[in-house]
């Protein structure tokens, strides 16, 4: 046993001297970042004649023209000279056969649904159609440049901030008076193209049950987000209106209390009929002065402020402090 160990030790020393690897793991096992068998017997990409393909261990970079599926698909198949594309893909058809992927040696096309992860860049494409994205209110752009990213999880991490911006860039030169255009020289809609955050890839209105004694209702799934400062100011003004209403109600309670005291005192007096006259006079004074000035007028002004200042300032699309964003929507 000692002799065998000694022989093994000398063989190891010899491999070290020859600078040969000591790892006995098969070179195509994939362990410790070694090559694996997938390049030889895994899914094979059916590249088009005009495509330049760089592949390694199931990872692909394809330089070509717009192509979402087979060679007969996309603007590249139509012969467009302005449909250059870069397709970065890993795990072709990985979700096929319940996650087993395609059988060894199978030739596959692009699959924006079944491939594991993709970053797709195209000069001319129908990006929402290719990725199966609902239209929303932004719509489904056709024949436009686009970048699509898809995977089981997508993360954007900015150490010093993240901005999602739509519209034109600032301070560009050489675009004349109309400023920056889109990729085909067309006009960019203003003041700002929309931003939509769509959870579940669904924007269809949904019907909800209102509960007992309340009829059902239909609710829009895709709605504008609230503007923080405008919403805050709206609630502040609403709070002021409610203060006016509460003040008027308190005044009404005080006046009614005094009235009740007068009536009670009048009817409790021994000289009944003269007291009735005093009570009638007091009631008349309260009705002609107290109620109009301390209850009715404040209530009228509160209602006017609610309609003019609150509703018109915050609740309508033309409001200068509309609480809903005109550009950003979410589900």
Q: What is the pLDDT of residue 223?
A: 85
Place 27 in a pLDDT band, splitting at 50, 70 and 90: low
Q: Phi and psi (nearest 5°) for 46?
A: -85, 85
Place 3 in a pLDDT band, splitting at 50, 70 and 90: very low
Q: Is the pLDDT of residue 142 over 90?
A: yes
Q: Is the pLDDT of residue 211 over 50?
A: yes
Q: What is the pLDDT of residue 292?
A: 66
Q: Is the pLDDT of residue 256 over 70?
A: yes
CA-angle at 143, arms to 186 and 66, nearest 5°: 135
* pTM to 2 decimal places: 0.75
Average pLDDT on 210-234 reads 79
Q: Is the pLDDT of residue 42 over 80?
A: no
Query: Could you tell me which residue, 12 or 1, shows the higher pLDDT?
Result: 12
Q: Is the pLDDT of residue 175 over 60?
A: yes
Token pair recorded at residue 182:
């889109």
Q: What is the pLDDT of residue 1?
A: 43
Query: Could you tell me which residue, 132 or 302, shows the higher pLDDT?
Result: 132
Q: What is the pLDDT of residue 8?
A: 44
**Would you call 134 exposed, middle or buried from its count of C-beta atoms within 10 A (0-12, 13-18, 19+)?**
middle
CA-angle at 82, arms to 79 and 86, nearest 5°: 100
H or E element, residue 34: none
Place 63 in a pLDDT band, splitting at 50, 70 and 90: very high
Q: In 10 A of CB 314, how many CB atoms?
A: 21
Average pLDDT on 267-277 reads 53
The alpha carbon dihedral of 135, 329, 316, 299 has a sign of positive
């Amino acid at each position: 046993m000692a002799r065998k160990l000694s022989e093994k030790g000398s063989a190891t020393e010899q491999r070290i001297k020859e600078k040969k690897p000591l790892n006995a793991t098969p070179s195509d096992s994939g362990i410790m970042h070694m090559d694996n068998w997938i390049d030889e017997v895994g899914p094979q990409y059916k590249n088009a004649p005009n495509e330049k393909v760089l592949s390694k261990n199931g990872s692909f970079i394809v330089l070509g023209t717009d192509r979402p599926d087979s060679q007969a698909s996309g603007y590249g198949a139509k012969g467009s000279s302005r449909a250059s594309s870069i397709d970065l893909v890993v795990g072709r058809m990985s979700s096929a056969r319940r996650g087993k992927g395609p059988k060894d040696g199978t030739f596959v096309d692009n699959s924006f649904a079944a491939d594991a992860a993709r970053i797709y860049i195209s000069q001319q494409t129908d990006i929402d159609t290719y990725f199966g994205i609902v239209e929303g209110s932004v719509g489904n752009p056709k024949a436009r440049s686009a970048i699509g990213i898809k995977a089981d999880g997508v993360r954007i991490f900015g150490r010093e901030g993240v901005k999602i911006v739509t519209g034109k860039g600032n301070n560009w030169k050489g675009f004349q008076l109309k400023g920056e255009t889109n990729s085909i020289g067309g006009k960019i809609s203003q003041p700002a193209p929309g931003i939509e955050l769509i959870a579940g890839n669904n924007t269809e209105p949904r019907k909800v049950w209102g509960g007992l004694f309340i009829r059902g209702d239909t609710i829009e799934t895709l709605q504008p987000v609230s503007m923080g400062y405008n919403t805050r100011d709206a609630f502040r003004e609403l709070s002021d209106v409610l203060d006016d209403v509460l003040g008027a109600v308190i005044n009404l309670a005080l006046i009614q209390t005094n009235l009740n005291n007068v009536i009670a005192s009048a009817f409790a007096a021994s000289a009944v009929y003269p007291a009735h006259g005093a009570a009638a006079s007091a009631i008349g004074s309260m009705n002609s002065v107290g109620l109009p000035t301390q209850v009715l007028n404040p209530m009228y002004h509160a209602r006017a402020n609610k309609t003019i200042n609150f509703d018109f300032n915050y609740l309508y699309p033309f409001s200068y402090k509309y609480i809903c964003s005109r550009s950003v929507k979410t589900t």
